[in-house]
Structure 1
Amino acid sequence: MLPWRFLGLVGIFTLCRGQESDCDNFSDLDFHETFIGTKLYVRLLLYTRANLECGQELPHHNFTKEPLFNITRPTTFVIHGYRPTGAPPIWINHIVHLLAAQDDMNILVVDWNRGAANLNYFTAVANTRHTAANITGFIESMEDKGVSLDSIHLIGVSLGAHVAGFIGAMLGGRIGRITGLDPAGPMFAGVPPEERLDPTDAQFVDVLHTDMNSFGLRGTHGHIDFYANGGADQPGCPKTIFSGKSYFVCDHQRSVFLYLCALNHTCNLTAYPCSSYSDFLSGQCMQCETFKPASCPVLGYDMSKWRDTLLRLGQTRVYFSTTAELPYSKTSYRVDMVTWNQYLRWGVVILRLHSGRNVIETRIDNKLLRFEQYTATRLLAQFDEDLYPVQKISLRIVTGNVIGPRYKLRLLRIRISPLEQQDRPLMCRYDIILEENAEVTFKPLPCHESRH
């Protein structure tokens, strides 16, 4: 369960609305029903700013008679995935409130729990096509009533991402936008594009990956694909099967929680175009010249600043790292060092930033770094917290030298550039002498050169 503070702008609301006769709730099935299997039945639960606490089931026909549904507003469909236990997703109320905070829209929660709730995953997969056909028919009725497909946004989670893709394909890719949150991998890996979510399914497709080595789908499947922590193992998630259910679902569910956090503006998840996560961690992908005058893409609801560029580029991979807990955002710096060494040294860098008594630390150790004479080295330093203003900097280069004399390393220059907070000053220091495996602390100075 997410903490109350996560809801931010939308305030505290009641998660359990009760069983008021005038409210329609998401289907809540028991284990017996999932064990014997259920017959697919698709419901549409309508939420607007006028009824955030009380969903109204929208009829597939004569839906314009529902006074809360306004065809002049944009419409967002929220499509869940596989539900082996039959319980409602814990995040439904959260995403409804957060979407309503973005814009005055019709929010339609697609309840296909009778069809997704089945111990037989293959049955749920088969039902994705039928669910898509059902929703496609409804959207075609909307279009007949004058609704522009440009104004429709499909948000699909896991199997729901492929449901969204099938809907988009049936409508000839004319849907305005599809957002896929960790599209399901089992039964969809290695299949042709028409059998899964792909960029042709909508005018704009954005995808977030968090569990590609298990329940999620590898590869690129949108105009932009966000890879959180490389798109596989997520920090804070269990690493052994002894943790029970969480071991299986934590990485996969993280996609939803990251997206909710982005909708809530609690976290700033800036992502950087790169060929791989390894290259990103190695500091090779910290420029976003392609997107000027906009900055690097940010995960979230509003992608308008980057949309035209992404459509022109085709398919773009972007990477970012997160912390293990809310608000997930890391604070990133580009570190440029020029060394003047007589002897070649290999090692990792430990960087600490000080502000009064507060200290944050990062260890840049994704690979061994090479320090040699007159060599410029660029690093990505990411901290779990933000600390400002920075009053002192500590630096240590850790090598494998455990016996014999400590060699001295001379830095002709170190420059530390904030990546997300572009308004903050660059921090420099010139001509520093340090011993390997020993920490040196210094005050940052203004830089003589420009940011680039």
Structure 2
Amino acid sequence: MVWPVLVCVTLTLMFNPYRAQDCEEMTDLNLKDSLTGTSLSVRLLLYTRSNASCGQLLSHQEPFSNPLFNLSSPSTFLIHGYRPTGSPPVWLARFVQTLLQRRDMNVIVVDWNRGATNINYWKVVENTRRVAKNLSQLIQKMKEEGADLGSIHMIGVSLGAHISGFTGASFNGHIGRITALDPAGPEFNGRPPSERLDPTDAQFVEVLHTDMDALGYRDLLGHIDYYANGGADQPGCPRTIFSGSEYFKCDHQRSVFLYMSSVSGSCPITAYPCESYALFLDGKCMNCSSFAPDGCPVFGYDSVRWRERLVRLGQTRTYFQTNKASPFCKFGYKVDIVTWNQKKHWGYLTITLSSGLEEARVELNHKSLMFERFVESSVLAQFERDVQPVKEITLRFCSGKGIQPRKKLRLLSIRLTPLQKQLRPLCRYDLLLEENKDVTFRPVPCEDSNF
């Protein structure tokens, strides 16, 4: 009586097209390989919704022999960067899954670990041109078979960003989209456009900077460049070398996790066009009327909605702030303050929002604010969570002068205007702040509000 069950199980295994041993994974090397150096070998791993967790090797010569590869579907190439230790990126599988959950497509992981794993970084940089040539040959075959170049999206991380650019340049910028995640800076900073990524490499080029003071590129490279938290030090990343390898890679790698979060779309982040991070923090760049009717662009995967406008503008520099972990989005308010002190005061503010059930607090300490009689002072306040409804606000004023006599700040008005949602501004009039003392109040409707 046991035999029918055994036969059934055996048949199931025989006809399962994705047995574990048939699944291809990215090449896994080690530090020994890095020390000896590796010769370039490019493997293409195909993922679709039919094989979301089981990569299939795609032939360079006959890519269409794989029945899972659908030419009529959009194709996204995912290209890693320098691999000094030889291990596959920790984010790779999750990135593939996130993309396929968002949209039905061909996800092609470009595995050039043999060639990217080498202690000699300069040799790896030389290989980027060869990888791009390899990809260009594949895309040319796709084009000849009727694929739309405009439906191709290349996502390049670090050196992978410049590989994307070199590939796009070989098609005179007709590839649909390039997403560059913290493009590599060493050996590319200061280079002419022909030797790095630039806006002419695709119909739409977006660039995220998270480590521009070390491993990443500093200047503008795309139609829109995002500088997360200023583009250098990322919240939650270690600041000393005693933290080990995380000290070197955390800021650089944050670009990947920020973009993955944007693909899921669970917590949108608004990117504000601005000339500098300092002006952004001062609340000088919150006006998005030039991007009407849609307002300022959203960072990441959905930014393509603003493509036509951004391409017309040429190159746009934008800034936003994030939390240290997912969900990365913060909730911003533009804070406008008018005082009526006889003398000019300088100082810092701490603002706490409370709903009665939860609180969110921010210290506005990026620079000392100037408070002058009847002159409006503005600053951006970014909270880690969205507290709604705001029933109470607590303010604390600090001059930072140490043992000097404590000052009092007399507010004629304070106004907190939400940036992300169509919520009413929060106001309060005629308020006295004593230095280093909390003052809690209930907001009232703003006198000039249309809400």
Instruction: Give the TM-score normalised by structure 2.
Output: 0.93
Which is further off, 71-80 or 354-363? 354-363
Following the alignment from structure 1 to structure 2, what is the Cα–Cα distance between the partners of residues 377 and 149? 49
Task: Please name the residue that 1:434 is paired with.
Answer: 433
The 3 A distance-change label for structure 1 pair 237 and 401 is: closer
Task: Please name the residue that 1:413 is paired with.
Answer: 413
Letter of the 2:194 partner, please give it: E
Q: Secondary structure at the match of 1:238?
A: coil
Deviation per CA, 1:195-218: give whole Å up to 9, x if none. Answer: 011101111000000000000011
Task: Please name the residue that 1:370 is paired with.
Answer: 370
Following the alignment from structure 2 to structure 1, what is the Cα–Cα distance between the partners of residues 427 and 130? 60
The 3 A distance-change label for structure 1 pair 29 and 348 is: same
Task: Please name the residue that 2:243 is paired with.
Answer: 243
Deviation per CA, 1:78-120: give whole Å up to 9, x if none. Answer: 0000011111111111111111122211111001111101111
Deviation per CA, 1:251-304: give whole Å up to 9, x if none. Answer: 100101111111122432221111011111111111111111112222221223
1:392 aligns with 2:392: yes
Following the alignment from structure 1 to structure 2, what is the Cα–Cα distance between the partners of residues 405 and 240? 37
Q: Secondary structure at the match of 1:335?
A: strand
Letter of the 1:228 partner, please give it: A
Letter of the 2:231 partner, please give it: G
Which is further off, 35-44 or 46-55? 35-44
Q: Secondary structure at the match of 1:160?
A: helix
Spell out the pairing of 1:3-402 with structure 2 (5 A cutoff): 20-402=20-402
**Which structure 1 segments of 5+ residues have no match?**
1-17
Q: Secondary structure at the match of 2:208?
A: strand
Letter of the 2:250 partner, please give it: C
Following the alignment from structure 1 to structure 2, what is the Cα–Cα distance between the partners of residues 152 and 46? 14
Deviation of 1:430 (Å): 1.6
Following the alignment from structure 1 to structure 2, what is the Cα–Cα distance between the partners of residues 53 and 400? 55
Letter of the 1:365 partner, please give it: N
Deviation of 1:20 (Å): 2.1
Letter of the 1:67 partner, please give it: P
For the aligned residue pairs, the C-alpha RMSD in angstroms reads 1.6
Deviation of 1:31 (Å): 2.7
Following the alignment from structure 1 to structure 2, what is the Cα–Cα distance between the partners of residues 351 and 363? 7
Letter of the 2:170 partner, please give it: M
Deviation of 1:33 (Å): 2.2
Deviation per CA, 1:379-424: give whole Å up to 9, x if none. Answer: 11111222111111111221145556544432222111111122x2
Letter of the 1:237 partner, please give it: C
Deviation of 1:441 (Å): 1.4
Deviation of 1:439 (Å): 2.5
Deviation per CA, 1:43-77: give whole Å up to 9, x if none. Answer: 11110001001111111122222110111111100
Cα pair 2:399 2:407 within 8 Å, conserved: no
The 3 A distance-change label for structure 1 pair 240 and 308 is: same
Following the alignment from structure 1 to structure 2, what is the Cα–Cα distance between the partners of residues 231 and 253? 12
Cα pair 2:350 2:361 within 8 Å, conserved: yes
Task: Please name the residue that 1:11 is paired with.
Answer: none
Letter of the 2:427 partner, please give it: C
Following the alignment from structure 1 to structure 2, what is the Cα–Cα distance between the partners of residues 24 and 275? 46
Cα pair 1:258 1:328 within 8 Å, conserved: yes
Q: Secondary structure at the match of 2:140?
A: helix
Following the alignment from structure 1 to structure 2, what is the Cα–Cα distance between the partners of residues 128 and 156? 11
Q: Secondary structure at the match of 2:122?
A: helix
Cα pair 1:426 1:451 within 8 Å, conserved: no
Following the alignment from structure 2 to structure 1, what is the Cα–Cα distance between the partners of residues 407 and 161? 55
Q: Secondary structure at the match of 1:98?
A: helix
Cα pair 2:424 2:449 within 8 Å, conserved: no
1:446 aligns with 2:448: no
The 3 A distance-change label for structure 1 pair 111 and 234 is: same
Deviation of 1:148 (Å): 1.2
Cα pair 1:417 1:451 within 8 Å, conserved: no
Task: Please name the residue that 1:8 is paired with.
Answer: none
Which is further off, 396-405 or 70-79? 396-405
Task: Please name the residue that 1:14 is paired with.
Answer: none
Letter of the 1:278 partner, please give it: A
Following the alignment from structure 2 to structure 1, what is the Cα–Cα distance between the partners of residues 402 and 104? 63
Which is further off, 203-212 or 437-446? 437-446
Following the alignment from structure 1 to structure 2, what is the Cα–Cα distance between the partners of residues 131 and 406? 64
Deviation per CA, 1:160-211: give whole Å up to 9, x if none. Answer: 0000000011111111100000000111111111101110111100000000
Cα pair 2:262 2:302 within 8 Å, conserved: no
Letter of the 2:278 partner, please give it: S
Q: Runs of 4 or more off by more than 6 Å in structure 1?
A: none
Following the alignment from structure 1 to structure 2, what is the Cα–Cα distance between the partners of residues 243 and 402? 33
Deviation of 1:32 (Å): 2.6
Identity of aligned residues (%): 55
